[in-house]
């Protein structure tokens, strides 16, 4: 695949092989951009600002709808690409593409609803002075989008589509592990917008990502990825507008009055979908002692049913993780926990890029598997007595992305909803729930700013005040 700058598909002699993590085969290559390419993309995106700002809201909305229709028509092809480059089972890849269609549709709808407000100014003057104002939302200019490998299409769209809806131009730097499906998406969008409005530059984050972050000609960076990279970006962005959607270590709390079967189903899909490589995946399971054994028996039984295999096989539940070095790190985290006293209830083994779904009991809070984000199919179990201890354990983390709580007790549900420090608390759902219109974004080290189309658009605009005095 080629990268896209100023409406042209550009190749380079310098290329990176994109590997299928399932079998190590080369799927395709992408050009490795240099700083000159990044600057060309920034210049093109700046030159294209007028062409999108001169479109009416209806034209922008129609362009997003057209892209949405084409993505829907090509959803099998795009889902297959996601499976190939990420190792995501097809059954989950198609869910990602269906969600992406929805993300585009929501953006097309929101493009027609970017309102300002009237502001009473008589707070500052005398009653007979006719003085009022209105605000207008205007585009920021150029938005730089930097994305991770785990949802390469929908996470890219959560940045590109609201940026376009608000009449910005965009430069996306996709992840070098899995850039192809993002390039296909950009190829679709480019058909419906003037040249230079949507650009994609394939290259390394430390070079191309950094060029976007530090350029005075990029007005905003919308980043999704790890906490370490997010913190580095915020130190380099020098006052630029930033949205940071970072890592999580999300808890699933199961209280004594929970529906155990529902909680187990949520735990299996929340902890092991996409081989645990989900920012809002279930990463710590906190169990009331009164139901812990019953939950664990069923959790192990249901986990044993998961089928590992070729991601393209429609019956596969778990594919490989993104690459072998990630798999080795996850294996080490599991082995260290066992060495420090955790009990392995299921799984634990690595085979190339595959990690078995793994359940660890008797962990403690200082173990890496509990304190940090593992980003693999690993479920540590923590036993507690009652709701207060469950909330304390859930909050004992530098992360605060989302949380899930299973309980049928209204006052415990409300207590958890109020006291858990996280960007979203799901009652009787796992933390891994996300609808593409909802405000989404973490507290503490998990980030700043919100995505979810309407909320992302707010951050992709600046507010201008226009005041009128009758004379």
245 catalytic residue (yes or no): yes
Residue 125 Cβ, how far from ligand NAP at the closest point, in Å? Answer: 45
Site residues (CB under 6 A) for ligand NAP, limited to 157-196: 173, 175-176
Helix (H) or strand (E) holding 346: strand 343-346
The answer to whether residue 459 forms part of the interface with ligand NAP (CB under 6 A) is no
Residue 369 Cβ, how far from ligand NAP at the closest point, in Å? Answer: 15
Residue 141 Cβ, how far from ligand NAP at the closest point, in Å? Answer: 19
Residue 244 Cβ, how far from ligand NAP at the closest point, in Å? Answer: 8
Select which of 245, 331, 373, 451 is catalytic.
245
The answer to whether residue 433 forms part of the interface with ligand NAP (CB under 6 A) is no
Residue 212 Cβ, how far from ligand NAP at the closest point, in Å? Answer: 7
When binding is defined by CB under 6 A, the residue of 224, 303, 333, 407 that contacts ligand NAP is 224
- Cβ-based neighbours of 158, under 8 Å, separated by 6 or more: 103, 224, 436, 451, 452, 453, 456
Residue 309 Cβ, how far from ligand NAP at the closest point, in Å? Answer: 23
Among 194, 127, 180, 129, which Cα is nearest to 152's?
180
Site residues (CB under 6 A) for ligand NAP, limited to 341-360: none
When binding is defined by CB under 6 A, the residue of 17, 206, 336, 392 that contacts ligand NAP is 206
The answer to whether residue 209 forms part of the interface with ligand NAP (CB under 6 A) is yes
Please list the alpha-helical segments (H only) found in 48-74. 49-53, 57-73
SS3 50: helix
Of the two residues 143 and 213, which places its CB atom closer to ligand NAP in the complex?
213
Strand ranges (E), 52-187: 118-120, 131-139, 142-146, 169-173
Strand ranges (E), 150-234: 169-173, 198-200, 220-224
Stretch that binds ligand NAP, among 89-97, 114-122, 207-215, 295-303 (CB under 6 A): 207-215
Query: Taking the CA atoms of the chain, what radius of gyration do you get in angstroms?
Result: 23
Residue 80, number of CB atoms within 10 A of its CB: 17
When binding is defined by CB under 6 A, the residue of 233, 237, 268, 353 that contacts ligand NAP is 233
When binding is defined by CB under 6 A, the residue of 247, 251, 320, 347 that contacts ligand NAP is 247
The answer to whether residue 226 forms part of the interface with ligand NAP (CB under 6 A) is yes
The answer to whether residue 210 forms part of the interface with ligand NAP (CB under 6 A) is yes
d(CA 22, CA 298): 29
Select which of 96, 110, 177, 279 is catalytic.
279
279 catalytic residue (yes or no): yes
Locate 384 and state its tokens.
Answer: 């507690």
Cα-based distances in Å from 190 to 98, 200, 209, 317: 20, 10, 21, 34
Among 339, 366, 344, which Cα is nearest to 355's?
344
d(CA 394, CA 415): 13
Stretch that binds ligand NAP, among 96-104, 129-137, 148-156, 261-269 (CB under 6 A): 148-156
The answer to whether residue 376 forms part of the interface with ligand NAP (CB under 6 A) is no
- Cβ-based neighbours of 216, under 8 Å, separated by 6 or more: none
Q: Which residues bind ligand NAP (CB under 6 A)?
A: 146-150, 155, 173, 175-176, 204-206, 209-210, 213, 224-226, 229, 232-233, 245-248, 279, 373, 375, 401, 442, 447
């Amino acid at each position: 695949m080629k990268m896209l700058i100023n409406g042209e598909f550009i190749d380079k002699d310098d290329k990176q092989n994109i590997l299928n993590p399932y079998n190590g085969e080369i799927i395709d290559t992408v050009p490795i951009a240099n700083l000159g390419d990044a600057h060309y993309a920034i210049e093109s995106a700046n030159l294209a600002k007028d062409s999108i700002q001169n479109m009416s809201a209806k034209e922008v909305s129609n362009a997003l709808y057209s892209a949405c229709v084409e993505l829907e028509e090509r959803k099998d092809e795009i889902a297959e690409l996601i499976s190939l480059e990420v190792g995501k089972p097809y059954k989950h890849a198609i869910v990602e593409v269906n969600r992406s269609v929805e993300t585009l549709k929501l953006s097309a709808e929101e493009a027609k609803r970017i309102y300002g407000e009237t502001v009473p100014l008589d707070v500052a003057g005398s009653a007979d002075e006719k003085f009022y104002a209105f605000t207008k939302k205007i585009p920021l200019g150029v938005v730089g989008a930097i994305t991770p490998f785990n949802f390469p299409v929908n996470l890219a769209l959560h940045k590109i589509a609201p940026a376009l809806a608000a009449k910005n131009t965009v430069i996306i730097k996709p992840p070098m592990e899995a850039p192809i499906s993002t390039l296909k998406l950009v190829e679709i969008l480019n058909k419906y917008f003037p040249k230079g409005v949507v650009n994609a530059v394939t290259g390394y984050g430390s070079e191309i990502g950094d060029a976007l972050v530090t350029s005075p000609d990029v007005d905003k960076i919308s980043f999704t990825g790890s906490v370490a990279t997010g913190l580095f970006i915020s130190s380099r962005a020098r006052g630029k507008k930033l949205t940071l959607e970072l890592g999580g270590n999300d808890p699933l709390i199961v209280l004594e009055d929970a529906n155990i079967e529902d909680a187990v189903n949520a735990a299996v899909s929340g902890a092991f979908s996409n081989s645990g490589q989900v920012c809002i995946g279930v990463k710590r399971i906190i169990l009331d002692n009164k139901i812990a054994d019953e939950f664990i028996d069923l959790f192990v039984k249901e986990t044993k049913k998961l089928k590992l295999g070729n991601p393209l096989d429609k019956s596969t539940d778990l594919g490989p993780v993104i690459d072998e070095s990630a798999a080795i790190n996850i294996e080490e985290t599991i082995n260290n926990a066992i060495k420090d006293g955790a009990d392995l209830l299921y799984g634990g083994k690595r085979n190339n890029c595959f990690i078995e779904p793994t359940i660890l009991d008797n962990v403690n809070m200082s173990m890496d598997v509990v304190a940090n984000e593992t980003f693999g199919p690993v479920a540590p179990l923590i036993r507690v007595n009652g709701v207060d201890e469950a909330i304390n354990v859930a909050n004992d983390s530098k992360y605060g992305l989302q949380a899930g709580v299973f309980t049928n007790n209204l006052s415990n549900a409300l207590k958890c909803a109020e006291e858990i420090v996280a960007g979203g608390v799901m009652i009787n759902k796992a933390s891994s729930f996300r609808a593409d219109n909802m405000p989404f974004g973490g507290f503490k080290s998990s980030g700043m700013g919100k995505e979810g189309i309407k909320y992302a658009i707010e951050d992709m605009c600046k507010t201008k005040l226009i005041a009128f005095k009758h004379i």
